[in-house]
């Protein structure tokens, strides 16, 4: 058995030196195990090769069983962790650190924010849906700006094609879940921020329980099903929603807060776009800096929502045309027959 263990260690070491991924190295060990097991099953007892590789198929079957049990346990635990909100994995999550006057001095000297506004940011809890092109600047600016608790939900991993515009991720983190890649950057910008990464897709069975922990939702997703789910849940919880979208050279941002009398997303877009009419970034392309422009506007609107500074985009939509360098703002109207918020009186959330 010592010979087999030495071979296994050698294969693992060679794979490590060659930079082989973990899965490839585990596959090599699996092939070695199967080869050794086949030798011990095929050769008679006492054969020199069988003796050199352990001498008993039964022993290797026991080893394989233990290995399978360990793998099954760790795999099951990983699947469970993906379904549990990370802050509930331990019962003692620390709160956000108090804001640092020196770090946030440029906010504090703004009369529209000041110390009181910065304190509101420190106490705020913002959920960002999507850690891609729009989520990247939103997450970085909210963390750097002093938002105390930031949740981010996304089921994707960093891909090489993302790096042209998703500036929170790096080449070194290709293959890493985007939420954990984003968490590392947010923590480096603001060590006191509480980051709650949810590496999973936002689905109806978790949306309500997830949203209840937050004061504001920022949606930067790129698929219509998730957008409508985010809107419906935000309306049901009475939570303001800042929504942004981009395509090719154009982007748009609006704030939806029907509990306070504004339209909701479904008032403006009652039906998903017909197939082929709204191209995704992968289908139609997108100029690299555009998500940074729109995402930064979304972050500004989030800070305004939290602090009460200025006039936000409630009931209005800002449209940015990067190709021609133009901005325009349109007024949005609430629809009395909206199936999501039509029965919601101004000033109160749906039950």
Among 91, 86, 79, 107, residue whose Cα is nearest residue 153: 86
| Helix, strand, or coil (residue 138) | helix
Interhelix angle for 135-145 vs 178-189, to 10°? 30
Q: Which two tokens stand for residue 334?
A: 């609430």
- What are the E-state strand segments in 140-209? 149-153, 194-198
- Which secondary-structure segment (H or E) carries 57? helix 57-83
Give residue for tokens 């050769």: 43
Distance CA 39, CA 54 (A): 10
State yes or no: is 338 an active-site residue. Answer: no
CA angle 225, 265, 140 (to 5 degrees): 80
Q: Contact, 242 vs 218, CB < 8 A?
A: yes
Which residues lie across from 242 on neighbouring strands? 218, 255
Q: Are 252 and 320 in contact (CB under 8 A)?
A: yes
Q: If you count them, how many residues does the chain have?
A: 351
Of 267, 281, 338, 341, the active-site residue reads: 281
CA distance 250 to 91: 44
Catalytic sites, residue numbers: 281
């Amino acid at each position: 058995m010592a010979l087999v263990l030495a071979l296994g260690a050698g294969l693992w070491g060679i794979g490590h030196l060659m930079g082989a991924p973990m899965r490839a190295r585990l596959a090599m060990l699996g092939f070695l195990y199967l080869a050794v097991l086949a030798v011990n099953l095929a050769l008679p007892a006492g054969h020199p090769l069988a003796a050199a590789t352990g001498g008993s198929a039964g022993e290797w079957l026991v080893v394989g069983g233990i290995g399978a049990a360990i793998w099954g346990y760790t795999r099951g635990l990983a699947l469970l962790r993906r379904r549990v909100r990370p802050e509930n994995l331990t019962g003692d999550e620390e709160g956000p650190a108090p804001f640092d006057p020196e770090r946030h001095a440029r906010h504090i000297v703004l009369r529209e924010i000041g110390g009181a506004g910065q304190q509101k940011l420190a106490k705020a809890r913002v959920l960002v849906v999507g850690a891609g092109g729009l989520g990247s600047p939103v997450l970085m600016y909210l963390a750097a700006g002093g938002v105390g608790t930031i949740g981010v939900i996304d089921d994707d991993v960093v891909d090489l094609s993302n790096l042209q515009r998703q500036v929170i991720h790096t080449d070194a983190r290709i293959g890493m879940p985007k939420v954990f890649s984003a968490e590392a950057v947010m923590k480096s910008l603001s060590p006191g921020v509480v980051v709650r990464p949810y590496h999973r897709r936002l689905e109806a069975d978790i949306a309500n329980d997830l949203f209840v922990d937050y004061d504001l939702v920022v949606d930067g997703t790129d698929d219509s099903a998730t957008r409508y789910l985010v809107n419906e849940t935000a309306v049901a919880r009475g939570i303001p929603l800042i929504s942004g979208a981009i395509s090719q050279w154009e982007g748009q941002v609006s704030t939806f807060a029907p509990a306070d009398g504004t339209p909701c997303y479904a008032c403006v877009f009652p039906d998903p776009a017909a197939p082929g009419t709204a191209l995704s970034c992968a289908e139609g392309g997108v100029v690299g800096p555009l998500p940074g422009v729109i995402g930064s506007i979304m972050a500004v609107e989030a800070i305004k929502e939290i602090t009460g500074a200025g006039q936000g985009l409630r009931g209005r939509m800002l449209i940015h045309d990067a190709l021609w360098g133009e901005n325009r703002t349109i007024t949005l109207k609430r629809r009395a027959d909206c199936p999501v918020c039509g029965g919601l009186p101004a000033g109160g959330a749906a039950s």
